[in-house]
Homo-oligomer: A and B are copies of this chain.
Amino acid sequence: MSPTRSVSIGPVTLGGKHFVVIAGPCSIESEQQFLETATTVKAAGATLLRGGIYKLRTDPNTFQGLGDDGLRIARMVRKTVGLPIVTEVTDARQIPLLVDAIDVFQVGSRNMYNYELLKELAHTGKPVLLKRAFSATIEEWLLAAEYLEKGGNPNVILCERGIRTFEPALRNTLDLAAVPYVRTLSQLPIIVDPSHGTGRRDLILPMSLAAAAAGADGLLIEVHPHPEQSLSDGYQSIDGPMFATLMTQLEKILAAVDRPLLKNV
C-alpha cells in the first residue's frame, strides 16, 4: 500500500492523518439557503463546503444552477463563514470565472472522460476533485487523473460516487472496495460520496460509516436545510440534524480506525 500524497486546500489538508468532511447543498439556490447550510455544516464539523453553481443535468427541462448569481453568493458565503469551497466545473470557459472564487474544482462523473477539460484544469494548478464516472473502470479513472498530473497539476483528489449496474433499487452501486484497491495502485487521496452513491437519504449514514471503516480519506455529503424543498437531488440530501448525528457516529468509527476527524480549521 502506497503512502498517500496529501493535498492542501487553504488550512485543510486532505489525504493526511486527518479525515475530512465536505458538505453542502447540491446546488446553491439562494443566499439564505447557502449561508444557512454553510453555518450548519461548519458547526457540525465539516471543513470544506460544497455547492453547485453551473449544473449539468440529464434533462434539459430541469433546473440548471444559478450561474453567475451563484458565483456571487459563493464568494460571499466563503468569506462570511470562512470555509474553502468545492464547486463543479462543467466547461473550460468557466475556469477563469471560478478560479479566484472557489478553492477546489470538482469534475463531475459525466465529465471524467472530458479530457479537454482536464487538460485545462491541469494548467490552473488548483486542487481538483475528480469523481469516478459511473461507467469508468478504476483503470480509466486513474488514467483521467494522469491527464491532470501529466499536465502539471499534482493536486488531485479521487472521489468514488457509485457505478451503474443492473440493480434498479438504488441510483448507483457504491463501490467501496475501490477505496482500498486504489490504495494499492495510487498515492492520490480518495474520498467517498454516499449521497450520489446511494441516492437515498436513509442510506447516507451507514455508508458514510462504512466508507470511513474501509479507509477513505474523507466524505462528500449533500446537506440541505430543507431537503424536501430542494431544487435538485432533494431525495438524497440530509438536513442539519441528520448531518450532526452522522458526524457524531462517524467520530466513533474514526476513533476505532485511529484516524481523527479534522475540525475547526
Contact = CB atoms under 8 A, between A and B. Distances in A.
Nearest to A135: B135
Interface stretch (A43-51, A206-214, A239-247): A206-214
Of A92, A167, A207, most buried by chain B (CB within 10 Å of CB) is A167
Contacts of A255: 256
Nearest to A185: B169
Interface in A35-63: 56-61
A200 B57 CA distance: 30
A111 interface: yes
A181 B90 CA distance: 31
Interface in A74-95: 90-93
Given A60-B143, A177-B197, A249-B257, 20 more contacts: A56-B116, A60-B150, A90-B115, A90-B116, A91-B116, A133-B135, A137-B169, A165-B173, A166-B166, A173-B173, A174-B176, A176-B176, A176-B210, A177-B198, A180-B207, A181-B198, A206-B213, A213-B213, A249-B256, A255-B256
